[in-house]
Structures are given as structure tokens and as C-alpha cells.
Amino acid sequence: MRAQLEARSKEPPIVLSAGEVKARDVEWHRVTARGKFNPNYAVFIDNRVYHGVPGYHVVMPLSIGGGERYVLVNRGWVAGTGDRNRLPQVKTPEEMVEVTGLAVIPGRRFLELGNDVVEGKIWQNLTLERYRKAVPIALQPVMIEQESEMNDGLTRAWDKPDLGIEKHYGYAFQWLALAVTILVIYLVTYVRSAKPS
């Protein structure tokens, strides 16, 4: 999977048009879309820390070709203001822009203890289903993690996709440690029982 992702990163980006795409056709591919941002429907994903500074990820829909179908764009990280009642100011271009980045499906890897987690423009987590319920616009089934620069003051330093490799290394280490422990116990027990009385 990692090799596939690296190979895809070298391919030219897939152009997203206003026609609806299938998520499986573009997920983990670099994509590009041209359109206008709609800051009225922006949400700020809370508890995103960058270099020890708390802040938000700014997610904003982009009207593809200026039409009625949108794609969500994670524009990047912005530092918090220190006051949850005052959101940071985000510079948003008013003209048509071209956004390039990795297509992902948001919200696959988190656990929530309740459904009431949407509070105004500040959200704890984002899923496409929740966004569709809150904002009545036609959306593509993926979100773009923006890579293209726009001189907007946002930080775009995305983590590599979590493929679970580190978890498997952890399991392997645990089994190895258990096997070594059993071997040591066996050898100590065998040596004691083999000693002449």
C-alpha cells in the first residue's frame, strides 16, 4: 500500500469536474479542482496541534467551476486565538483558484462517545455525512488535503497516511518478548530440574 501511495504521488493529478466521482476511484490520489471557496460554510476542526501550538484545521467547500457541486478542502492549520469565542481570521481568495492535493475520506479513524459534537463553526471531528446534514450542498465523496500554496498564512504539513504499520511492529515486538520470556522460564526450570539432587 505504501509503495502504491508513493507511485501515485508521482502521477499527474486527477482533475475533479462537477460530475460526481466515486470515492474509490480517487482516494489516495493527487487531485486538482478549479473553483471558488465559500467561506460561509467553513468549519474549524478543533484540537489540532502544530509544533506545540494549539489551533484548528480550516475546512472549506470549493464550488467546482463556480457551479453547484462542491468538494471539501482542508486548507491547512491555523493557530487558535486563545479565546474559543473568537475564531482566527483566515484569508480566503475571492476569485477562482486551483487547488491541488491528496484526496482522502475524512473521519475514518476516531471514536466519539456522542453524536452532539457540532457546535457552530468549531467541530471536534469531521465526516462527510455529518457535514452533509449540517450544510445542504452537493459534495464530492472525498476531501482534498491542499498542497498548493495561496499565500494565505495557513500551514500545510500533512501527516503521511496511517497504514497501521507501526501497530504491527508493536504486535511483533510483544510476541517476540513473550517468546523470549517463555524460553528463559523454560531454560531456568530445565536447568534446575537437571541438577543432581
Cell of 175: 510476541
Q: What is the pTM of this model?
A: 0.77
Rounded CA-CA distance 171/76 in Å is 33
Q: How large a percentage of the chain has pLDDT more than 90? A: 61
CB 102 within 8 A of CB 28: yes
User: How is the chain split among helix, strand and coil, in percent rounded to 5?
Assistant: 25, 30, 40
How much is the mean pLDDT over the chain? 87
Contact 103, 142 (CB under 8 A): yes
pLDDT of residue 109: 54
Q: Are strands 69-79 and 138-146 parallel, antiparallel or unpaired?
A: parallel
Take residue 101 and report the three cell numbers written for it: 492535493
- pLDDT digit string (tens) for the chain, length 197 residues: 777 777 777 789 999 999 999 999 999 999 999 999 999 999 999 999 999 999 999 999 999 998 999 999 999 999 999 888 899 999 999 999 999 999 999 876 555 555 554 568 999 999 999 999 999 899 999 999 999 999 999 999 888 765 555 566 777 888 888 888 998 898 888 877 776 65
Domain ranges for the chain, please list them. 2-160, 164-197
Strand, helix or coil for residue 39: helix
Say how far apart CA 111 and CA 90 lie, in whole Å: 29
* pLDDT the model gives residue 115: 55
